[in-house]
Amino acid sequence: MVIVMGVNARQEEIDVVMNKLTEFGFQGHLIRGVNRIVIGAVGDRAVINSLNLEVLPGVEKVIPIIHPFKLVSREVRDEQTTIKVGNAVLGSNKPVVIAGPCAVESREQLMTAARRAAAAGASILRGGTFKPRTSPYSFQGLEEEGLKLMSQAAAETGLATVTEIVDESSLELALNYVDMVQIGARNMQNFRLLQAVGRCGKPVLLKRGFSATIEEWLMSAEYIVSEGNADVVLCERGIRTFEKYTRNTLDLSAVPLVKGLTHLPVIVDPSHATGKRELVVPMSLAAVAAGADGLIIEMHPEPRSALCDGQQSLTPDELDALMLKIVNLSNVLSGVGA
């Protein structure tokens, strides 16, 4: 349920509603929007209907929420949520580009990638330090050593940083070094991990599972937000279909669809979605045209020598060219120069 407070509701009136919800076992989440103040109440609808909250001072109306995802729904917050990661703002009118190697392999490799990403105009550096791989014999990441290198690259370039975490121990380590943590596709429904990042106090990048429906994806975001962390960025990274010519099938229709369902920012990963370097640029531009709030792109100084995902990684020069196209397309879409 959503309790809509009057525009001029006093703090003590808000406190009365919050206290009553707590008294009857509900989670109350206060959301201050630009045009209204709402309280999201999570709990048994039958019980809340009996509380007669409409009669309390300051309450304008009580609205039932149709969707099973409550706190991330636009029914709770109509305005777009913006999330600050370093100097980047996701959810604004400007697409944010996250770029860097699939995995942190060495200091030289990461520093070169970070410098070129910053020079190209990216705002956030990506780099895998804990790598969940299909084969146990594949490169698994440098772990804490890689996290330290990410921190050093951020200090030198001014880029914010994001890395994937795979369990609670890797989360605890990562919090000391990076600005944002990523939940990968394989962990999208690892509910204990979702609850842990919901309490971590840092922005979270939540990738869609390769077999997940949109509702399941948003329910995973709900797990995080329900623990108190509203800074969740959703990432469409392709879903598994019968098609074999691409690594996954990029569901670009999910971008405008999800943006209509939730107030959270939505970005796209064209690298993992396609698995082919030659498809990354056109799918990046298509994602921006579809309304994506940003992109996460794999770029490696020497893709042919990459320890993982070299076939889908752009070169630094290719990233430069893509960034220019993104700027030009964004200007066209926003009517700049028209």
- Give the domain CATH number at 59: 3.30.70.1140
In this structure, the answer to whether residues 11 and 134 fall within a common structural domain is: no
Domain of residue 27 covers: 2-63
Average pLDDT over all residues of the chain: 92
Distance from C-alpha of 177 to C-alpha of 162, rounded to nearest angstrom: 9
In this structure, the answer to whether residues 109 and 186 fall within a common structural domain is: yes
**pLDDT of 81-114, one tens digit each?**
999 999 999 999 899 999 999 999 999 999 999 9
- Residue 33: pLDDT band by 50, 70, 90 thresholds? confident
- Residue 337: pLDDT band by 50, 70, 90 thresholds? low
CA angle 322, 91, 194 (to 5 degrees): 105
What is the pTM (predicted TM-score) of this model? 0.87
Please state which of the ranges 65-69, 98-102, 243-247, 300-304 shows the lowest mean pLDDT: 65-69
CATH of the domain at 107: 3.20.20.70
* Structural domains of the chain, count: 2
Is residue 76 a part of any domain in this protein? no
Main-chain phi, psi angles of 291, to 5 degrees:
105, 15
Domain edge (last residue) among 28, 63, 98:
63
- Residue 45: pLDDT band by 50, 70, 90 thresholds? low
Q: What pLDDT was estimated at residue 221?
A: 98
Domain edge (last residue) among 14, 32, 63:
63
